[in-house]
Chains A and B, each alone.
Chain A
Amino acid sequence: MVVKKAPRTLFDKIWDAHEILRNESGQSLLWIDRHFVHEGSFHAFNKLNARDLKVAHPALTTGIADHYVPTRGRSIQVVTDKVRSVIEQLEHNTREHGVTLLGLDDPRQGIVHVVGPEQGLTQPGLLMVCGDSHTSTHGALGALAFGIGASEVAHVLATQTLWQTRPKRLRITVDGRLGAGVTAKDIALAWIARLGADGARGHAIEYAGEAIRALSVEARLTLCNLSIEGGGRCGMIAPDDKTLAYLKGRPDAPEGEQWEQAEHYWRTLHSDEGAVFDREVTLRAEEIAPQVTWGVSPEEALPIDGTVPDPARAASPAKARQIQDSLDYMGLRAGQKLTEVAVDSVFIGSCTNARLEDLRAAAEVLRGRHCRVPGIVSPGSTQVKQQAEAEGLDRVFIDAGLEWRESGCSMCVGMNGDQVGSGERCASTTNRNFKGRQGPGARTHLMSPAMVAAASLTGHLTDIRELTR
């Protein structure tokens, strides 16, 4: 008798393949295929060292310097003593534990979530973790990938496993076709504005639908990257021909017979017909306009042709106070047109939007024009930087008046000293508009790379559709 297996979601297939055991209260012990550490992982290595533990499987962890690295040249001498110290701790800890490090001088260096896919370390069906919330990025290739804290990083180093409670499943379907000037960034900000920054809390997200299938792999990486900003445990997209074409030939991708074997398995990685999701949300691609954030949470996003919200029209006094608090911090007026908000600087970079396609999109807007405000471009990886230079994109940015820097997390999080000044307003391709995220008192507006480029030309938030019309 043939027993038909119950239909499963993409997420459940990968989870099940990694479940070592389940305890009495329902938590699963999961096998981890790939683990990344960065400078911030020193707390975890300290925990390991304090207990005199070794890294269980050093070959399955890769170290990458990104959070604190200087972007003005590669000399470690230009940073402050304390920044230098955390970079050196990563070098020391990876060396002591036999972990490969893609350090400052390595041509493969870059932001963890750009390097993983670029090197082919990220593959469909893998379970990947890193002590960074934007690990959700890797789900774009059909991996199950999520961020963890330092105690969990130490646990993975010591055991190559992790205890997790199976999250619920949320499918976000985007039907139809995106309009001109509308990107994966706008899909993400639109659904987060609709569901809230905790809207997907406790859920594994799968993105599906015609508009998602139509996205390039790089655009899918942007979308999955932002899953955490809506509270999602992870974000993933079923691998397809595009995914496989992207992966083939990358340094760490399987080859020959192993590729055949892998591809056979990868082709099974999709949600089965009839698989049940705990929650379903559908968006129409045509209804999504280019988005910008106006407040201090990614959920505080609006279409660029909108106006700054009015606390007087809020649903409750608590909500009104919350909006007023955001407006006060951001220095905005209720009812003000978003396109009238002047910016002081721009930043193009981060694990969200600093891949080659992002730089091309921004350069396309800037080509032959001059920026009204200063800004920085930090490519997502050293390899992206080289590719962009080979295409002459560096000249486009420099000629327009922007700074062309080395790769790192840079002004997304400001840890290396690249910061937005207090009270200054920055149009940014990054992922968080939190208070003080880009520096104490900094005001961040999140948007797509082309929208940031447009704002740099006009000196105010700008509808890319108007500029290119």
Chain B
Amino acid sequence: MTPFTELSALACPLPLENVDTDQLIPARFMKESRDKGYGGFLLHDMRFGADGTPTDFVLNDARAKGSEILVARRNFGAGSSREAAVYALVDYGFRCVIAPSFGDIFSSNSVNNGLLPALVSEKDCEAILDALGDRPGELRVDLNAQTITAGDRDFPFEINATWKIKLLNGWDDIDLTRARAEDIERFREHYTAAYPWVTS
């Protein structure tokens, strides 16, 4: 996975609450193989009308092209555990989402795909949206310092300590865990003896 350290990029405002995973990727696209990428499915029903023509949604604005940061309101990524919602964001080109709250499962899915879920206060989120002024604009995200810079203002963001390390190093859990195989096996033996009905 690509490590995430600093990012200076175009940020697209999405000033909506409760942008759930069903909106991020409608269920009907989830049976597709990821070989061709999921970027085309991102927020599909906001971006396109029933006849497939693009709407006036912000991501369709030519000025939003190349956005790598998304700024949304509370409860972003709520709902279904579908990691496909993160695949859609990542394959579209996003590397960071800024919001005052995220769905818990969405957050861990994001980190497992190198996408930074940057948690800010409601007040700071509104200030960042105000700074962008309803159009895409430049933001700088520094994961080490946990700050977002909009113009001459810095805003702090929160991230779980372990997730920060994972993102900074681009680490993958499976390799880390397999290195603990002995601990796991020792636990399993003890556990199976203590709760024999669980596995029999």
Contacts and interface: CB of A to CB of B under 8 A. Distances in A.
B17 to A, nearest CB: 5
B67 interface: no
A267 to B, nearest CB: 14
Contacts of B22: 432, 434-437
Given A26-B162, A149-B108, A154 B26 contact: no
Contact of B105 (A46, A51, A123, A149): A149
Contact of A147 (B31, B105, B160): B105
B81 A131 contact: yes
Interface residues of A, number: 75
Contacts of A259: 197
Interface string B151-180: 000000000111001000000011011101
Contact of B174 (A17, A159, A196): A159
A198 B78 contact: yes
Interface in A4-63: 17-18, 20-21, 23, 25-27, 29, 31, 33, 40, 43, 46, 51, 53, 59-60
B6 interface: no
- In this complex, the member of B23, B74, B86, B198 whose beta carbon has the largest number of chain A beta carbons within 10 angstroms is B198
Interface stretch (B58-66, B140-148, B183-191): B183-191
Interface stretch (A81-89, A100-108, A171-179, A211-219): A81-89
- In this complex, the member of A21, A132, A197 whose beta carbon has the largest number of chain B beta carbons within 10 angstroms is A197
A98 interface: no
A31 B187 contact: yes
A159 B177 contact: yes
B73 interface: yes
B118 interface: no
B75 A325 contact: no
B26 A440 contact: yes
Contact of A415 (B27, B104, B174, B195): B27
Given A40-B30, A59-B199, A198 B45 contact: no
A159 B31 contact: no
Contacts of A29: 177, 180, 183-184
Contacts of A152: 108-109, 112
Given A51-B174, A258-B197, A259-B197, A415 B31 contact: yes
A119 interface: no
Interface residues of B, number: 58
A370 to B, nearest CB: 32
A404 interface: no
A297 interface: yes
B45 A435 contact: yes
B105 A148 contact: yes
A85 B109 CA distance: 25
B79 A432 contact: yes
Given A151-B113, A201-B101, A53 B174 contact: yes
Contact of A197 (B18, B86, B176): B18
A37 to B, nearest CB: 12
Interface string B1-40: 0000000000000011110101100111011101000000
A158 B112 contact: no
A75 interface: no
A297 B20 contact: yes
B84 interface: yes
Contact of A23 (B81, B109, B162, B178): B162
A258 B104 contact: no
Contact of B23 (A40, A258, A434): A434
B75 A196 contact: yes
Given A154-B174, A160-B184, A198-B78, 13 more contacts: A25-B165, A26-B161, A26-B162, A27-B162, A46-B34, A83-B31, A159-B174, A165-B162, A261-B196, A325-B16, A413-B80, A415-B30, A440-B50
- Nearest 7 Cβ contacts at the A-B interface: A149-B109, A151-B112, A254-B197, A149-B83, A150-B83, A198-B75, A25-B161
25 contacts: A20-B180, A25-B161, A25-B165, A29-B183, A33-B198, A82-B31, A83-B31, A132-B80, A149-B81, A150-B109, A152-B109, A154-B174, A155-B173, A159-B178, A196-B75, A228-B79, A258-B196, A262-B195, A297-B20, A318-B17, A322-B17, A422-B50, A432-B80, A435-B45, A441-B45
